[in-house]
Structure 1
């Protein structure tokens, strides 16, 4: 009887195993592993296609945003008289395709600063697709040499103007000093209502000037401003009548002056 019970238990376990195997189709029955592999491949392919689709959507979104931020307007500010507005805009935009995100700000500023009459420039982003370009223009106060100009900071720059300006001659290293002395000399001449038309500083640091009435004043190297102010006080007694062409006054003497007429 014990043997019979063991056989029945063994038969029951075998029956449950077969039933269990038959209850999970596609995994344990014959050919089930091949079907699983095929279904897995389809699933992976579907996931791959989904990821590609999402990637394309993302690329399109980035492209649309890039196009939206593309620079299509340049707003110029600043008090421009001589600088060319169209040339400035063309230099900023040119043929380049750029937006406010990848804007090469430093190189753009340097390019604009190289343009005629531009002393300094600031560029600011105006979202979503514009740039504000603020230009500080050169302010000429004198002609320098034969074909250059001097700005109000004592810097020499390339340019030309039809404005009536005094003519400076000297070394560029002395440009700032010449501008400062010019302002002092101009103040000293104010009582005579005369202006300087030509100012020269020699390599030996000697000053000579020509005035608006045609008179040449030789100041030399030592205390030029003080000598000029003393001469202005004595002018009514020294210069009598209209100044003749080529007339010169030499103030380099310790106890007087010399007046030359051609």
Structure 2
């Protein structure tokens, strides 16, 4: 029993050694490589589309050129057609329609395509009451002109009017606007003076005052005159705060004697002085 077991172990060892030993003198057989077949080159879809585009583009250009030529031949009579109707639109109160017609008349012989719209617009804006103008072609032979007028808000000196944006314009018959407030100041300050006038007017109106004159002097001092003839000296700085101070005192102490007030000096830091038109029982000058 023991001997048989030992023999079996030796055979197993020889067998294992034989299995692990390298095969000396053995020939390795390499399997044949797979046969490579020649590829058939077929044109791709992108190449075909590209070639088609190269062929079609010249043809499309020729067709487009012929179409444009035919369209130009058909439109040429219409392009030379004179303007038959000019429509002027806008809420016009001061603009003279006869003056508008005189500005348009030199352009009536032009066709719709050849008329110089910018030149016509410039001629219209040069009219005294025209604030803005727009000129539009309407096919086949019409023009639409839209005009906006200046809105006169105040006089600027003796020779011009101001619109609500502080833009000056010089219309005819300016004397008929003497009822408007009179504003004055350096030429470069028109817009600033107009804005200050509008601000003061909003402050004064609830208290029964209205601005008759407003002046900004060269050194930056403001002078205001109400419709009642009260001169208000505001000085240079904090003019809105100073005006509110006057209105507070006016409501408490002066409202029933406004016709006696000649001048109010607000150029003080925390008070004001009042000058009366005629002697009164109240002493001149009052403080908060």
Q: How does 1:172-191 map to 2 (within 5 A)?
A: 172-191=187-206
- From 127, 144, 151, the equivalent of 1:132 is 144
Contact 1:123–1:133 at 8 Å: present in 2 too?
A: yes
C-alpha separation between the residues in 2 aligned to 1:119 and 1:148?
14
Contact 1:117–1:137 at 8 Å: present in 2 too?
A: yes
- State the shift of 1:261 in Å: 2.8
Partner of 1:153: 165
Q: Does 1:206 align with 2:203?
A: no
Partner of 1:243: 259
- State the shift of 1:240 in Å: 4.3
- State the shift of 1:141 in Å: 0.8
- From 245, 257, 276, the equivalent of 1:230 is 245
Q: How does 1:72-83 map to 2 (within 5 A)?
A: 72-83=84-95
C-alpha separation between the residues in 2 aligned to 1:225 and 1:124?
45
- State the shift of 1:126 in Å: 1.8
C-alpha separation between the residues in 1 aligned to 2:268 and 2:243?
12
- State the shift of 1:127 in Å: 1.9
> Normalization by structure 1: what TM-score?
0.71
C-alpha separation between the residues in 1 aligned to 2:124 and 2:217?
35
CA deviation profile, 1:29-63 (whole Å, cap 9, x unmatched): xxxxxxxxxxxxxxxxxxxxxxxxxxxxx99x94x
Q: How does 1:106-117 map to 2 (within 5 A)?
A: 106-117=118-129
Q: How does 1:1-262 map to 2 (within 5 A)?
A: 62=76, 64-66=77-79, 69-94=81-106, 96-159=108-171, 160=174, 162-163=176-177, 164-235=179-250, 236-238=252-254, 240-244=256-260, 247-262=262-277
C-alpha separation between the residues in 2 aligned to 1:73 and 1:239?
60
Contact 1:74–1:89 at 8 Å: present in 2 too?
A: no
Count of equivalent residues: 202
Answer with 1 or 2: which has the greater Rg: 2
Relative contact order higher in (CA < 8 Å, ≥ 6 apart): 1
- State the shift of 1:161 in Å: 6.6
CA deviation profile, 1:2-51 (whole Å, cap 9, x unmatched): xxxxxxxxxxxxxxxxxxxxxxxxxxxxxxxxxxxxxxxxxxxxxxxxxx
Contact 1:219–1:227 at 8 Å: present in 2 too?
A: yes
- State the shift of 1:89 in Å: 2.4
C-alpha separation between the residues in 2 aligned to 1:72 and 1:250?
65
Q: Unpaired segments of 5 or more residues in structure 2?
A: 1-71, 278-288
CA deviation profile, 1:159-210 (whole Å, cap 9, x unmatched): 2273531110111211111111112111221331111011111011111111
